[in-house]
Structure 1
């Protein structure tokens, strides 16, 4: 798991400091990221290459948006493996995704409660 799971400063810079927009995006992330992660896990478990590509790409995008770099990079690796049809390697990364997601969600929740 990475030390900085959610780069608040980079996220706010990206949004021009708009705290209201940031709060809305983070609230969506709290719901959307776990749902996409579960869909991704199901896709790789079932050997569904197209859905694995779709959900890993989506998780990568929403994680990169909030500057949760480590989970975005994991999702990118899963997407790459899925595109190549190597769902066993994609599946092997899912435990790391869950650990990182837990850390990101905790950091975002802490941030939102400030």
Structure 2
């Protein structure tokens, strides 16, 4: 099985999720450090749709200026545009497999798509 993780190495939850993936011999892991290689707006929209969550549910508030920008109350298109411009607004880690996508907070949510 192939899995892609949108990863931030400074995030403990992201590191724990990556460790789970790397310890599974049946999983071929692709790591994307999304702060260095941000996903496109279209990719973000697809990830959230496939995860069954709204962009607002995938918005990172802690350590960002999202609240000052009014993003928690913004529409999906505005949030996606902001995330595409500033990838620090993306909550992590997002993991995609052929079984679906999950925002792995907590990291055990990963098990749903393995």
Same fold per TM (> 0.5)?
no
Which structure's residues are more often helix, by fraction? 1
TM-score (norm 1): 0.29
